[in-house]
Amino acid sequence: MSLTNKVALITGAISGIGLCCVKEFLRNGVKGVTLADVNVEKGKEILSLLEKEFGSKRVIFVKVDVSNQDEFEDAFKKTIEAFGNIDILVNNAGILDERDFKRMVDINVNGVIIGTFLAMENYLPKYKTYDDPVVVNISSLYGLDPSICSPKYTATKYAVLGLGRSLSDKTHFEPTGVKILTICPGLTETAIVNDIYEKHPPGRYVNILNNFLPTINLQKPEVLSLAMVKILENFQNGDVWLVEDNQCH
């Protein structure tokens, strides 16, 4: 699919991978992007920077906690009010917090399920611009290879993969025409990795991280956004793409 003149709603859009995707989508000709994020103060700052760079008519910010269905629905409504349509939902918001794993499940799993079903059942079939609407869900390398990561975070990312695998079946695809794509980033230089020690209780996993993290080359978030645009140009419903070490497969 081409991004030209499409409308996208991206969650977790004001930091790291999400913000790079917003910019890459805008560079690739989307008509409009909704930045959906829980952090209002930073959201306003980022919105004003993006308006200077890309023009005020192409971006809006909506405060959304993805685990709250009403707030998520409000973001769909405001997107349609602002841009007239919606073609792409990127469920990118996610946290890695072993200390508050219930909140992590709420955001990483419930948030993705809420967004995916609002998009597939209510909004994308009705308000798409063209005939190729898509939901992109961000899982993780640790949804594929759980060897060193926090088991609780890994479980949430497996759930995202499971959702994509189930929805790609034609019994789900045919009635809505909405494709599902799952992208699994490898370790990427963003706040989620920088804060990793704060969010893990001391003990076994911090020891594992201490041994593992210094041996890894973190990729830049721009690698993800460039890859996502390329993948969107040419993917099949239900695909799972790993983006790691500057390679997609």
Q: Identity (one letter) of the amino acid at 112?
A: V
Q: Which stretch binds ligand NAI (CB under 6 A): 31-39, 127-135, 200-208, 232-240?
A: 31-39
**130 included as an active-site residue:** no
Out of 24, 37, 97, 244, the only residue in the binding site for ligand NAI (CB under 6 A) is: 37
CB closer to ligand NAI out of 16 and 133: 16
Residue from 82, 87, 75 nearest 126 by CA: 87
Q: Which residues contact 30 (CB under 8 A, 6 or more apart)?
A: 3, 4, 5, 6, 7, 8, 58
Q: What part of residues 184-243 is at the interface with ligand NAI (CB under 6 A)? A: 185, 187-188, 190-193
Q: Give the strand order in the sheet containing 7-11.
A: 59-63, 32-37, 7-11, 88-91, 134-138, 179-185, 240-244, 247-248
Query: Which region, judged by CB under 6 A, interacts with ligand NAI, from 61-69, 117-125, 205-213, 231-239?
Result: 61-69
Mark the segment that binds ligand NAI (CB under 6 A) among 13-21, 54-62, 80-88, 121-129: 13-21
Catalytic one among 130, 153, 158, 205? 153
The correct pick among 21, 38, 59, 109 for binding ligand NAI (CB under 6 A) is: 38
140-179 residues near ligand NAI, rule: CB under 6 A: 140-141
Footprint of ligand NAI on 86-125 (CB under 6 A): 92-95, 107
Backbone angles phi, psi at 238, to 5 degrees: 90, 0
Long-range contacts of 203-208 (CB under 8 A, 24+ apart): 205/98, 205/150, 208/148
Q: Residue from 25, 32, 61, 67 that binds ligand NAI (CB under 6 A)?
A: 67
Q: What is the DSSP string of 132-148?
A: --EEEEE--HHHH--SS
Q: Give contact residues for ligand NAI (rule: CB under 6 A).
A: 11-12, 14-18, 37-39, 64-67, 92-95, 107, 138, 140-141, 185, 187-188, 190-193
Q: Which residues are catalytic?
A: 153
